[in-house]
A and B are shown apart, each in its own frame.
Chain A
Amino acid sequence: MNVLTATDAGFTGCTRCGRVWPREDSHCGRCGAKLHTVDRHGLQAVWAWWLAGLIFYIPANFYPMLLTQTLTGEQKNTIVGGAIELWRHHNYGVALIVFGASVLIPIGKFIAIAYLALAVGNERRRGGHPHLHLYEVVEFIGRWSMIDVFVVAILSALVQLGFVASIHPGPAAASFALSVAFTMLSAQSFDPRLIWRGPERVTSA
């Protein structure tokens, strides 16, 4: 299908509200959002946030997420350790939710964003649908990684029973929250309009 795009017609479309403006305008006159032309410059921001997210994801996995003190002693749980613990206590469903939200989704997101950013302009114009769906899934699902941060917050706020049991947040909570936030920003910086531009059109403009 040959579709006339705003860029081809000499305009810039506002990605926030959809209004179309002449190429030389810098901000949308209706909603005030900054207008972005469809080009590869935006990918720098995608990669910068992506790398920041990846850097913070490493300590998030090695440092403890939860410090639990009970009558039987002190315990330190990392992200994966917390999921394994739930599995051992036969809470299989919840263990899978935690594992999915804090391990599978973040790693899947790093791979998916890198793939999208690398593949931009290499797909044929009509081949954009699978890539757009992948992008939409990444945007939708990325926020759900925050579950583990909230679990830590709730446990540490609630389980304060002195010597019987008390739970404190570990340093991994902060780096994991930052990692999730940075990958969300990385996905938001990716311009899905690039998916639809053929190889020869991406480099121009």
Chain B
Amino acid sequence: MAETSAPAKLDPAELIACPQCDALHRAEHLPEGTRARCVRCKTLLIVPRERSFLHVIALSFTGMILMIGAIFFPFLEISARGLTHESSIFGVAMAFSDGWLAPLAFAVLSMIVAIPVFRFLALIYTLWPLANGQPAWPHAALIFRLAEEAQPWAMAEIFIIGTAVALVKIAGLAQVSLGPAFWAFCVLIIVTTLKNSFVSKWVIWDEIEQK
């Protein structure tokens, strides 16, 4: 990883351009535990995690199982004056399904369920062959890129903070009990955060290209 000096005869295949400031660097495989930052803007460029593929795959499977639990188990239940009502995660998204708010129900369902699930599946699809030393499966580059582009729109952690706010708002109105889906969702967020910390983008892109 060195700052390039001679503009003549640079091989683009050996270079990495900082996505935040366009500075050119020579890309190299780094020893475990080191990280490469952009010389100018200090953006992290390469974080080597050579053996992390299996971690990501395992955490993605865990996340998928938790998400299935979170969808099918009851999420929250309230009771007041002898009346009770419970809702699943699905029911939360369907709160907007009446009339012209319906597209919002679709958006909410995408942000809290569909996009996180797609990202888990996409990472498993991309990394499974790479972890087994095989060439990447067809369209792995497209699928991994879509997973990366979808990242800002996966809002599971924001949803849980929203749940906390909603619980405070209801507190004066009724008794609330938390269902298994609530806890599954909390664990899901920890798993997702761990998984994201094991993803080393440059290494994955490099492996997709090489094999």
A binding-site residues for B, Cβ under 8 Å: 1, 3-22, 30-33, 38, 70, 82, 86, 89, 91, 94, 97-98, 128-129, 132, 139, 143-144, 146-162, 164-165, 168-169, 171, 173-174, 177, 181, 184, 188, 192-193, 195-196
Contact = CB atoms under 8 A, between A and B. Distances in A.
B58 interface: no
Contacts of A149: 104, 108, 162
B19 A18 contact: yes
A33 B201 CA distance: 15
A130 B86 CA distance: 48
B155 A146 contact: yes
A159 to B, nearest CB: 6
15 contacts: A3-B3, A6-B23, A11-B12, A16-B145, A19-B205, A82-B169, A91-B168, A149-B162, A151-B162, A154-B92, A156-B96, A159-B170, A161-B85, A169-B95, A193-B19
Contacts of A13: 16-19, 22, 24
A94 B95 contact: no
Query: Interface centre among A4, A154, A156, by most B CB within 10 Å?
Result: A154
B141 interface: yes
Interface residues of B, number: 74
B172 A156 contact: no
Contact of A158 (B15, B87, B101): B87
Contacts of B148: 16
Contacts of A21: 12
B41 A129 contact: yes
Given A4-B7, A169-B101, A94 B22 contact: no
Interface string B89-132: 00111111010110110011001100000000000000000000
B4 A4 contact: yes
A190 to B, nearest CB: 11
Contacts of A16: 19, 145, 148-149
Interface in B157-199: 158-159, 161-166, 168-170, 172-174, 176
Contacts of B45: 18
Contact of A151 (B12, B39, B153, B165): B165
Contacts of A161: 78, 80-81, 83, 85, 174
B158 A147 contact: yes
Contact of A4 (B24, B81, B86): B24
A155 B170 CA distance: 8
